[in-house]
């Protein structure tokens, strides 16, 4: 998906507080919005999505500059910073709203994602099969304001302290060349 110069990617990798914190640090990423996709309820609330009855997943919508970071690089970070082998679960978060999913905006994204997953499987990157779904993005609903930039605003919240720093540590170790701060004095 594109808005002219920038493009969009929508990923579901468990709690959107966690995925937002990771992708906010990548160069070329203009914005990351937490929200909901993949369900049937129009304009769902957090409580409705948490009930598991809407069919939505917690997702992030990433606006990025493809001249600075590619969709493939975004997928590489996505697959490295969550567990794509657990069905409807990330850690203690369980339910379809936490499923691993790529919501593609066009056929090119769908094809790239399918190829990428096949490469992961062929390389036996994970001990278990990848269960990440490829789903068409029919609608994206931004989450409530209090969910946006949640980790940046609530770094000492116990859930965040437990789940997000390990993801960020992995990001910094494995993908330092993709970070906004890469090459900047410290």
**Burial degree of 47 (CB within 10 A; 0-12, 13-18, 19+):** exposed
Active site residue 15: yes
Phi-psi region of 88 (alpha: psi -120 to 50; beta: other; left: phi over 0): left
Strands 100-104 and 133-136: parallel
Catalytic residues, by residue number, are 15
């Amino acid at each position: 998906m594109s808005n002219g110069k920038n493009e969009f990617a929508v990923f579901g990798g468990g709690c959107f507080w966690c995925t937002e914190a990771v992708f906010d640090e990548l160069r070329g990423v203009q914005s990351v919005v937490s929200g909901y996709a993949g369900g049937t309820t129009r304009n769902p609330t957090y409580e409705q999505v948490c009930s598991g009855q809407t069919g939505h997943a917690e997702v992030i919508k990433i606006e990025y500059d493809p001249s600075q970071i590619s969709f493939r690089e975004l997928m590489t970070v996505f697959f490295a910073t969550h567990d794509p082998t657990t069905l409807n679960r990330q850690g203690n978060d369980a339910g379809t709203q936490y499923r691993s999913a790529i919501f593609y905006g066009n056929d090119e994204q769908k094809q790239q994602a399918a190829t990428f997953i096949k490469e992961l499987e062929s390389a036996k990157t994970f001990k278990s099969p990848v269960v990440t779904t490829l789903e068409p993005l029919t609608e994206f609903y931004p989450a409530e304001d209090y969910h946006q930039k949640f980790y940046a605003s609530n770094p000492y919240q116990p859930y965040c302290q437990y789940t997000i720093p390990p993801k960020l540590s992995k990001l910094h170790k494995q993908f330092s060349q993709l970070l906004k701060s890469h090459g900047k004095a410290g």
